Amino acid sequence: MQKLAEILDIFAREIFDSRGNPTVAAWVTVRSAGGNVVTGTASVPSGASTGKYEAVELRDGDERRLFGRGCLKAVGNVNGLIAKELCGHDAADQRTIDRLLRELDGTPNKSKLGANAMLAVSLACADAAAKALGMPLWRYLGGVQAKRTFPKPMLNVINGGAHAGNNLDVQEFMIVPVGAQTFWNAMDHAVTVYHNLKRILAERGLSTAVGDEGGFAPNFRRDEDALSVICDAIEASGLKPGSDVAIALDVAASEWAGEDGNYHLPKAKKVYTPQQLIRRYRYLASLYPIISIEDGAGEDDATMWETLTQRMGRSTMLVGDDLFVTNAERLQRGIETGIANAVLVKPNQAGTLTETLETIALAQRNNYRVILSHRSGETADTFISDLACAVNADYIKSGAPCRAERTEKYNRLKAIYND
């Protein structure tokens, strides 16, 4: 059988992400059926707040170099074992490529080759195949069903938690331009609110320095003050909180979960029982236009997830990140037990494109909303923008409209919108 994109060469090297930490970039060179030689590329992000069930990113562990965070072992796996295994195969046969990667790794969490090594190659193969076929990546990934709907952006405008050195325990305060009619209009609203937020913070003597994802990272007396100032910025932009621009939170409650079954907020130095924390969420949602709460319970706290879903699932999007870690088996268990109603999708949590697509398909079959997501340690790679459009994701979160590794995703979405 003729190969549509025969792999000729695979190469990787270590690059730096947006936090200055090493990560993996890969290049896959293929020959098309017509004889043209093209190269696809991909680079892998890394999270600061990570779920313990995520696929493992391989680090060197040599404290003498880059605090042990080097990725030379992962790069060596690409240039050695992976290249030897995949050269000669068809990059357009994504399922076979990813199956071979998983078999070569042979571990349940991709700890041998490293999810960073595997994903870089998996995504670069898809990029190379799209180029070999002369198709935009979003169309290659999604076929005729792609871009029937367009994802709404969720933009992190205030950083806290593990993403900033301020006193906010909530990790992300996001704005969602729910009233916009087009993606261009949505981004116009978001950028206007972002700049008005910066002005208001400065006028109040608060810091306008930014955190890992480009959101501002001032100190507030309490988390509610961050919600209040966001509403002020929305109104200063001539928009209505709720109907034009809503708010989404990434609580990252796994970071708070204690062995005693309670939730310990490290910055506020407060302790909540699960019931108290749910009451707090409901209280905040009654005061502010909060439409989404991500990781509102710990990744292993099934009881709180069930209660949270029962109490808030009809009115609020409850997003599983650490809970599901882009893993179809974990999502299936969540569906069977009726917890959460949306899944955050981060390809590096899964480790291959095929597993990412399987998780998305499972979510959509069961009416769970899908949110494509960046990581706090990002690169300029825009694969998730094409993927979001390919699968008709409901939302995409890529940080603030600030810092090139964030805005590149939004700029790519603008280009796809007009494609």
**Distance (Å) of CA 329 to CA 264, 333, 334, 356:** 29, 6, 9, 12
- Dihedral of CA 237/240/244/247: which sign? positive
Round to whole Å and give the CA distance between 362 and 324.
12
Structure tokens, 280: 């707090």
**Distance (Å) of CA 165 to CA 65, 87, 110:** 25, 45, 31
Is 217 within 8 Å of 161 (Cβ atoms)?
no
Q: Looking up tokens 């600030």, which residue turns up? A: 402
Round to whole Å and give the CA distance between 356 and 371.
12
Strand order in the sheet with 5-16: 5-16, 22-32, 37-43
Round to whole Å and give the CA distance between 173 and 154.
10
Active site residues per annotation: 213, 346
What's the alpha-carbon Rg for the chain, to the nearest Å?
Answer: 21
Structure tokens, 15: 């690059």
Counting Cβ atoms within 10 Å, is residue 11 exposed (0-12), middle (13-18) or buried (19+)?
middle
